[in-house]
Structure 1
Amino acid sequence: MKRLATLLLTLSFSSFSLAADSFKVCWSIYVGWMPWGYGDEQKIVDKWAEKYGIEIDVVQINDYIESINQYTTGEFDACTMTNMDALTIPAAGGVDSTALIVGDFSNGNDGLVLKNTDSLQAVKGQQVNLVELSVSHYLLARALDSVGMSESDVTVVNTSDADMVAIYPTAGVSSVVTWNPLLSEILTMPGANKVFDSSQIPGEIIDLLVVNTEVLKKNPALGKALVGAWYEIMATMSAPGKAGLAARTAMAIASGTDTAGYDAQLASTQMFYKPADAVSFTRSKDLKTTMQSVAEFSFAHGLLGDGAPDAGFIGIETPAGVYGNKGNIKLRFNPSYMQMAADGKL
């Protein structure tokens, strides 16, 4: 099913509260986003919101794409999403968005699984179940390219992440692309073999907290509170001893696994526990190159809107410069709030 990005161009964004003291943030189940649920339950987000005189409501959405669509239509002020989805849904839908927190990049957390074979080349001619036009689709394209194949060699079957685990054991399914914790669960099933994963394209699938740019401009307190809360959670979960273990155990249970399972997922995630590391990654010229690659893939799949004449139609602002149209910037990587955290100024 095609995303509704182009339809979103016609939507009214009047529902955004550009100057307010109450904000809504949504997130979905993923190893790198479980800290938001923990931070909400432990009142860490509330503590930082109170520090800056605002209220932040953190809401879990069970369907990942739906969470981004709700952000795009203005029901939420901020949402967790990948770099590609930030470009192809809100940015392509006309919503100017800022990557406030660069939390991690997938380093094995996204993978292509084949049934009863460990050969990537065996995917030729198969149907591949994945969330169409998501980073899973991007990963499939990169995997096929690595062995001299293209998408014309397979048939993509759009499948919701909510259904992925249930459909894998069925007779009609022979290959899937998905992310953790779904990936880990599928890999425990008979005949499941991971033949390609995101560790083979490090730094290309980036996990973000994205905020509506106009909301952030009007309400810098929101940016400070979210970043402050995030790095307090990062410090807690990465701490040695009981505190870190308790935090990761809570996140594991919330994501449907145990502590060992969650730690295994973390091992295939390049988490930026320290804000300075996230700032360094965001300021690297490699980010601009990655986003160009993502934009080119997105344009080739019609994800930048019907009126997009080329891959640079939407401007993407990074510290290393702008890729694309400087007059149509809709996605911004702004490390300034993370830099405040690194400098101890929050």
Structure 2
Amino acid sequence: MISRWSPRLLAALAAGLAVALPGCSSDKDEPVRPGAVPPATADADTPVFSLAWSEYPSWSAFGVAEGEGLIDGAQGSMGEMEQKWDVDVVLKQADYDPCLGLYADGQVDAVCITNIDILPLAGGRPAVVAFPTSTSVGGDAVLAVGVDDVAGLKAVDTRGLEATVSQYVFRRCLEERGENPMDYPYKSMDPAEAARALQDGQIKSCCVWNPFLLSAEKNTPNAQRLMDSSEIPEEVIDLVAIGKDSLAKEGGDRFAACLAETFHAFNTKLNADDDLKVALGERVGMKLSLEEMNTVMEQSRFYATAEEAKALMTKAEFAEQTMPKVAEFTANHTGADAPSYGFEDDAAALNFTTQYLDLETAGPAE
């Protein structure tokens, strides 16, 4: 069994930070809006593929996209993009860690995951990064109460999930400030518990992500944001990864292109429709106002087009500086060398490639 990292678990929150944990499901939650392309019945020979996703701003797009008729998450029924690419996509919604488990165990073809978490999993099941969905630009942050500056964190325990995005952000922000992370104590705690503990005065510092971050900032008097992911631009990347074994199946390339075009077509609608932003905010767990959802989207910037996605995937800094830092973090926190990764390198256990974005742009073969 592959050893999985601690989850970047995103659960639905009520105003008081009560957590509701959704189970794994492929049932549609969004009613199809008037004017959406009606679903079609898949033929018996239509290839079937699956995507595991959890609630997070850019990943919840797949759930809300059902209401737009872009995709139909139930097997045997096809939305607009599935019809275009002649693939039947099954959406499996679960908490983040179970999603990783479904992918690692080969029970789904693709997963919504971060660049920090897919790397160790690729050692057990080689994967391709088909496209990024968003990057954290202040959506992960260190909040503190009664601590005046970063140096003051040496004297307190910062709480957050270990060996995952939160600790990565904590360590990298310290390094960017010329500090030694070993001088700063960090202890594991579930993000919802950490945000609540900060609010209740039980701890003095935590590192959490949205929507826990937004809620903690709103509800914790005198909370200060001491560091955040905007200090390490385009290092925390949310993305869709697909198993190489799944891509090798008939229609695997069309599946990847279908997911990419679904995401980008949804973004086109999202940017023109404030109601969709509010619907997305409801999916990520809080009754967010439009203003609050705009803040969340500023802090989790979407790669809204294929061109924006390709710009990241071909950026020298991402390949030559960011991913080596991620590999080092993986080795330090798993006790083993990180699996091989590469860019346009089919031999690498984790391959970042733009070929499916190119296919999306070109369209399906006639």
- Tell me what 1:166 maps to: 196
Deviations 1:110-129 (A, max 9, x none): 11111233411111132121
The residue aligned with 1:317 is: 342
Q: Of 312, 315, 319, which aligns to 1:288?
A: 319
- Amino acid corresponding to residue 233 of structure 1 in structure 2: F
Q: Which residue of 2 aligns with 1:52?
A: 85
- Tell me by how many angstroms 1:151 deviates: 3.3
What's 2:282 paired with? 253
Q: 2:166 aligns with which of 136, 140, 148?
A: 136
The residue correspondences of 1:32-181 to structure 2 (distance < 5 A) are 32-46=58-72, 47=79, 48-62=81-95, 64-88=96-120, 90-92=121-123, 94-181=124-211
Contact (CA 8 Å) 2:160, 2:188: kept in 1 or not?
yes
Distance 1:73 1:260 in 2: 40
In the alignment, which of 215, 239, 250 is matched to residue 208 of structure 1? 239
Q: Identify if the C-alpha distance between structure 1 residues 151 and 66 changes in structure 2 by more than 3 Å, giving closer, same or farther.
A: farther
Higher mean C-alpha displacement, 194-203 vs 73-82: 73-82
Aligned AA (1:272): Y
The percent of aligned pairs where both chains have the same amino acid is 21
SS of the residue corresponding to residue 44 of structure 1 reads coil
How far, CA to CA, are the matches of 1:138 and 1:123 in structure 2? 16
The offset of 1:133, in angstroms, is 0.5
CA contact (8 A) 1:111 1:179 kept: yes
Is 2:303 aligned against 1:272?
Answer: yes
Letter in 1 for 2:308: D
8 Å CA contact 2:145, 2:222 repeated in 1: yes
Q: Are residues 161 and 55 of structure 1, via their aligned partners in 2, closer, same or farther at CA, if it must alter by over 3 Å?
A: farther
Q: Would you say 1:227 and 2:271 are equivalent positions?
A: no
Whether the 8 Å CA contact 2:270–2:276 is kept in 1: the answer is yes
Q: 1:9 matched to which residue of 2? A: none
The answer as to whether partners of 2:196 and 2:216 remain within 8 angstroms in 1 is no
Alignment size in residue pairs = 312
1:332 corresponds to 2:351: yes
| 8 Å CA contact retained: 2:192, 2:212 | no
Residue 10 of structure 1 corresponds to: none
Per-residue deviation, residues 299-328 of structure 1 (Å, max 9, x unmatched):
12235x3xx3xxxx5211114xx6xxx96x
Q: What do you get for the CA RMSD once the two structures are aligned?
A: 2.3
* The 10-residue stretch of structure 1 (206-215 or 145-154) with the greater mean CA deviation from structure 2: 145-154
**CA separation in 1, counterparts of 2:64 and 2:210?**
18
Contact 1:125 1:153 in 2 (8 A): no
Task: Give the C-alpha shift of residue 265 in structure 1.
Answer: 1.1
Residue 184, structure 1, aligned to residue 214, structure 2: yes
Q: Please tell me whether the aligned partners of residues 168 and 186 of structure 1 are also in contact (alpha carbons under 8 angstroms).
A: yes
Q: Deviations over 1:54-103 (max 9, x none)?
A: 322223223x2332222212222111111111112x113x1101111112
Contact 2:277 2:290 survives alignment (8 Å): yes
**Amino acid paired to 2:297:** L
| Contact 2:52/2:99 (8 A) holds in 1 | yes
Kindly provide the CA deviation profile for residues 245-299 of structure 1, in whole angstroms up to 9, marking residues without a partner as x: 1211110122212221111111123322121121122111112121011111221
Residues 157-187 of structure 1: CA distance to partner in whole angstroms, max 9, x if unpaired? 2223454433332333211111111111111
- The AA in structure 1 aligned to 2:235 is E
Residue in 1 that maps onto 2:23: none
Q: Hey, what does 2:52 align to over in structure 1? A: 26
User: Contact conserved, 2:142 with 2:227, CA < 8 A, in 1?
Assistant: yes
Unaligned ranges ≥5, structure 2: 6-44, 73-78
Distance 1:193 1:70 in 2: 37
If the length of structure 1 is used for normalisation, what is the TM-score? 0.83
Rounded to whole Å, the distance in 2 between the matches of 1:128 and 1:60 is: 31
Q: Residues 167 and 78 from structure 1, CA distance in 2 versus in 1: closer, same or farther, beyond 3 angstroms?
A: farther
Q: Partners in 2 of 1:164 and 1:170 — Cα distance?
A: 10
For the structure 1 residues 267 and 77, does the alpha-carbon distance in structure 2 shift closer, same or farther, using more than 3 Å as the test?
same
Question: Quick check: 2:319–2:343 contact (8 Å CA) kept in 1?
Answer: yes
Matched, 1:195 2:214: no
SS in 1 for 2:248: helix
Task: Give SS of 2:107's match.
Answer: coil
